[in-house]
Structure 1
């Protein structure tokens, strides 16, 4: 088997057996290229942009094989004239390359985590959260799980996803936040909110097998969904996972968040200044502060830092460009044009 043969079954097996990073399962998402170690005991998901392999998280393998797998992958990239940029890695991977003169590290945000068994205590401590959940119930909203085979055929879910995407100021993004995954629900779980028998919102959860937990990967609501629908979805999922004995839940990365002080090197000054500028000025297009506020209003029990690691002694602007290109899924010039076009159309509709 070629090292880059898209063997989804082998990749899925490795993810279920060895994943630790909360986003590990997302290497199976469409559009991500798979690389396998010579032993076929490790998998890495990545996309190539600007001669840089932008990697989805850390290598997926046994802990004792992470260093060797990273070296093997980086050597393979070098043979193809490429560098490597690991995006959204955690403290475990950073600790393993700590002290390396061939790598540089930068903090990119925080992941809030909950212990589902402690969800009841969180509700008791927050009257506002209880009110939102009660409000949704009083509006006749009910939440239950939808089997994957039904979800794959549901036009209602696709319509809600489209409405959710249309409210955003940016075009659909990809890589670690791929929206089109209703055909890829194996091992995932889907909670749907209904009102008057109509689906009005959903929450898609992705497994974190070796952490005995779940990642809230994607949630969306229809234009007509009453306030409190999202909170009720979160409550239903947390309560279900608590009753099933799961240990952890995360809502995913709060990018550029300051909610956790990341140990180690925070990154070069120019990159820190860029992140600070984006956090302050990018709200009209991507509301970093608003996303952080929303996730942390649910009172996580703890947070973990997330990092970017490049296999060069210093960060360079091209690394940021490659990451942006990976998430855009298209040339940045085209993505910028699509953004301008979308926001012009929004303004035109408002003025009409």
Structure 2
């Protein structure tokens, strides 16, 4: 090869032709991928998770210490930055995924927290959570159940009344038709809501089943504000109730122990929610009662509340008052309410208040978002 190029080193046209031929040959038979332009691939965020700490939250202060401060942590793969939205506020960008926010609206309120994860190519995913946060003096909060854990209601907070045979313990003194159980078919927490479901079914000699929960032996109290956010069942014969009984019932009996009906509703009088007081001076078909009408009681949540002081009881729905009990002559017969009471939740069927049960009734549910007691 050396000899050939040495002999032809001065033949420029020939050398040029040879090199051109070689280049054309390589181009014609070579790998086309050399000339391919690779498009940049999109980066998609994944595995987005959001955790929220309410500052000062514990068993006694379930909505925080009153400062309104929350701390959020977001994590995701393939992410270069995060965006946080607190309610309807403007989105706040953040690189680390850690951010602190302070709410300022007084009282206990629910807030929607949304987080966005962005990739280097502008792709985005999001998730959200709702939290209840207290702003202001929180020293009076004594007990609450937010029903945030799926499954049976918390055994640390709730007991059950169980029917032990029909017809004797199906009626519970009011000629009711249900058999109370602790089955998940009748009582369960799902998606942040307690559900008590009355069903038409043959069970232990009864034609209907339901559930009755109570805090007896686990929590009782004297005076305070009780708030329950609930949506009620429907259907002729349904009788949902949210109420309290005196903790001394085993020693003094009923009605001497006193009863506070925060809310009761009859499907045969759809939309009329009632509050009532049962005392030795007036019980059963008591004349100490008041009510209001709600058109969407079984399709929307409402806040049922009683404010209990040493002087009076004030009942309201969504802060609209419908009954005030403050007897001028307070004694053990008219006012057995200077002693502790415990909470009760149930859905009865029929009975003296519920009335005739619709033959077409299959099942219906009372849903409770939360119960909060402050003193």
TM range (shorter): under 0.3
TM-score with structure 2 setting the length: 0.23
TM-score with structure 1 setting the length: 0.24
If each structure's helix is expressed as a fraction of its own residues, which one has the higher value?
Answer: 1
The structure with higher relative contact order (CA 8 Å, sep 6+) is 1
> Which of the two has higher C-alpha Rg?
2
